Amino acid sequence: MLTLVPGAMGGSETYARALTRQFAGARQIAATAFVPLTAAGFSAGIPEIVMGEVRGGPSVRERLGAIGSAFLHAGAVRAAMAAAEVVHYPFTVVVPTPSPRQARVHTVHDVQHLDLPRMFTRAELLYRRSFYDRAARSADVVIAISEFARARIIELLGIAEDRVVVAPLGVDGTKFRPYFGPREEFVLYPARGWPHKNHARLVEAMTILRRRRPGMRLVLTGGGLDALGELPDWVHRRGIVSEDELRRLYRSAAALAFPSLYEGFGLPPLEAMASGCPAAVSRSGALPEVCGDAAVLFDPTDVAAVADGIARAVDDDGTLAARGLARAAEFTWQSCADAHIEAYRLATERR
């Protein structure tokens, strides 16, 4: 995980953190994590090797710097992981490349840059095509986090179906616990300020909603929210919050809004459902697959539809909350880890 930037990678970071904890108790494998200096201590539960010469950051330049320094010290990394049968890259970027005798597994969270290239700068597109696409095509096994992502990977990257396995993400039911009591007058949207997260339309939709519920506020969490520019005074830009604070927000929000234009999976709706929070989410990407009939679905490009969907979630009589709780229980990190272990076995068989 030498390109890991704690606090800046959204759901992919939650996924990697959960895997290290699940692997700590796994009898079938012995896992070791390799992280940059800036992510020391990330891998609770399994042995962690910190590459002190590697430091990363969220910008393309900083990511390239981390990749460059990892390549410069590739010999030391390869020597440290020489005993491994399988090398897994949960953030897709291969730094450094493993020994030819080692099986290689890559997680590809989505191929949004191929489906929605307009959402990326030229530098970001070049980065992804260079370090994501080529790496995935050379892997023994590619892990997709949803059936939607698997289908897009197969079609757009031209990878054989038998090389792409699905490992749906999970939610920790011991942390995200349901609350069915009174809720406060705010709608929650936990998402980084990336273009595909569709914040501008959400603010427009909330403006419509507030015509009949003038006290309703919008609470935004996540990094990069300064990029959204000036916002109405009823929008609370909280930025990156602690896990405890995020859980409190799920338990107290009137509803979760998730108007994303593209998701390879979509963890926040699942976390909201596990917390008893009614959810209104986009019909895009993997979200319908993840949410099923346990959330209100809407067209994220239609502001009026977004407003109506949120209103229906806010006015929920308890039906959505009950369905959401049952739906969230179907997704566990243990199942996700088990799917990874099977993928590792498949990768070794392909050698």
pLDDT at 196: 95
Q: Is the pLDDT of residue 289 over 90?
A: yes
| 233 assigned to some structural domain | yes
- Shared-domain flag, residues 124 and 220: no
Query: Is the pLDDT score of 182 beyond 90?
Result: yes
What's the chain's average pLDDT? 94
pLDDT reported for residue 202: 98
As given in the structure block, the two tokens for residue 146 are 């949803």
- Domain tally, the chain: 2
Give the span between the Cα atoms of 11 and 268, in whole angstroms: 8
Query: Confidence band (pLDDT; 50, 70, 90) for 52?
Result: confident
Residues 270, 339 share a domain:
no
Q: Is the pLDDT of residue 186 over 90?
A: yes
Q: Is residue 179 part of a domain?
A: no
CATH code (residue 141): 3.40.50.2000
Q: Same domain, yes or no, for 220 and 89? A: no
pLDDT at 68: 86
Report CA-CA distances (Å) from 167 to 17, 139, 142, 144, 263: 15, 16, 10, 6, 15
Residue 326 pLDDT class (50, 70, 90 cuts):
very high
- Residue 280's Cα: distance from chain center in Å? 18
Handedness of CA 298, 304, 308, 313 (dihedral sign): positive
Taking CA atoms, 71 is separated from 64, 91, 224, 285, in Å, by: 10, 16, 29, 34
Under 8 Å between Cβ of 253 and 238: no
Domain assignment present for 111: yes
Tell me the mean pLDDT in the region 14-23.
Answer: 95
Tell me, yes or no, whether 268 and 247 share the same domain. Answer: yes
Q: What pLDDT score does 292 carry?
A: 97
SS3 content of the chain, % helix, strand, coil (to 5): 45, 15, 40
pLDDT at 85: 97
Q: What residues contact 242, with CB distance under 8 A and at least 6 apart?
A: none
pLDDT greater than 80 at residue 57: no
CA distance 195 to 253: 24
Is 67:54 a contact under the CB 8 Å cutoff? no
How far apart CA 295 and CA 280 sit, in angstroms, is: 6
Q: Is 1 contained in some domain?
A: no
* Separation of first and last alpha carbons in the chain: 23
Q: Is residue 181 part of a domain?
A: no
Clarify whether residues 260 and 129 are in a common domain. Answer: no
Q: Is position 175 within any domain? A: no
Segment among 54-58, 122-126, 229-233, 328-332 with least mean pLDDT: 54-58
Q: What's the predicted TM-score (pTM) here?
A: 0.93
Q: 240 and 137 in one domain? A: no
Whether the Cβ atoms of residue 130 and residue 330 lie closer than 8 Å to each other: no
Same domain, 324 and 339: no
CB 184, CB 202: distance < 8 Å:
no
- The partner residues of 142 in beta bridges, in order of sequence, read 106, 164
Q: Is residue 249 scored above 90 in pLDDT? A: yes
Query: What is residue 311's predicted lDDT score, i.e. its pLDDT?
Result: 98
Instruction: Say if CB 260 and CB 198 are below 8 A apart.
Output: yes
- Residue 67, in any domain of the structure: yes
Domain that holds residue 235: 186-328
- Angle 278-197-297 from CA coordinates, rounded to 5°: 35
**Which residue, chain included where needed, has tokens 């998402």?**
191
Q: What is the pLDDT of residue 92?
A: 76
CB-based contacts of 195, cutoff 8 Å, min separation 6: 119
pLDDT at 94 over 90: no
- What angle in degrees, to the nearest 10, is found between the helix axes of 267-274 and 10-24? 60
According to the model, what pLDDT value does residue 96 have?
87
Clarify whether residues 147 and 76 are in a common domain: yes
Do 27 and 86 lie in one domain? The reply is yes
Mean pLDDT within 148-159:
98
Sequence-distant contacts of 61-69: CB under 8 A, at least 24 apart: 62/5, 63/3, 63/5, 63/93, 63/127, 64/127, 66/2, 66/3, 66/36, 66/95, 67/2, 67/3, 67/93, 67/95, 67/131
Report which of 298, 317, 11 is spatially closest to residue 146, judged by C-alpha positions.
Answer: 11
pLDDT at 38: 87
Closest CA to 278 of 309, 246, 302: 309
* In a domain? residue 176: no
